[in-house]
Amino acid sequence: MQKFPKIKDFKAPGGYFDTLPDKIIDRLQPQRSIGWMKYAAAAALLVISLGVWQLNTPSSQSVTLSMEEEVSLYIESQYWTAEDVLGVVDNPEEILDQILAEEMVYEVDFIEEEENQNWF
């Protein structure tokens, strides 16, 4: 141990600890050069949000349907039942006759197809 040189005690320069807190605070101050980037990012986010909102908003153009198409949509979506439709109309007999006539056309076609096929 005697080979190692003797180290003198370290002494701080005069007034060093008086100015140390000010030097530390100066180094911790945020840089003002990136402050404008926060506002630019907020503006870009706002523009993107408005664009997405506009794209997802349904168009204001409405599709006009005839009365028959609208009734068909209500029936097909099972919002209305057959009893609901027949209860609203003035002459339910006429509608029932029309439905039976349409179904008879399909039944006749089905019977003709069966007769034309050979079952050998």
33 with 41: CB under 8 angstroms? no
pTM of the shown model: 0.27
- pLDDT at residue 86, rounded to an integer: 75
Given a contact cutoff of 8 angstroms between Cβ atoms, the answer to whether 85 and 71 are in contact is yes
> Could you give the CA distance from residue 75 to residue 69 in angstroms, rounded to a whole number?
10
Q: Which two tokens stand for residue 7?
A: 């180290």
pLDDT digits (tens, 9 = 90+) for 48-88: 999 888 888 776 566 777 877 887 788 788 887 777 777 77
Query: What is the spatial distance between Cα 54 and Cα 25, in angstroms, rounded to a whole number?
Result: 47
pLDDT band at 32 (very low <50, low <70, confident <90, very high): low
The secondary structure of residue 15, as a DSSP letter, is T
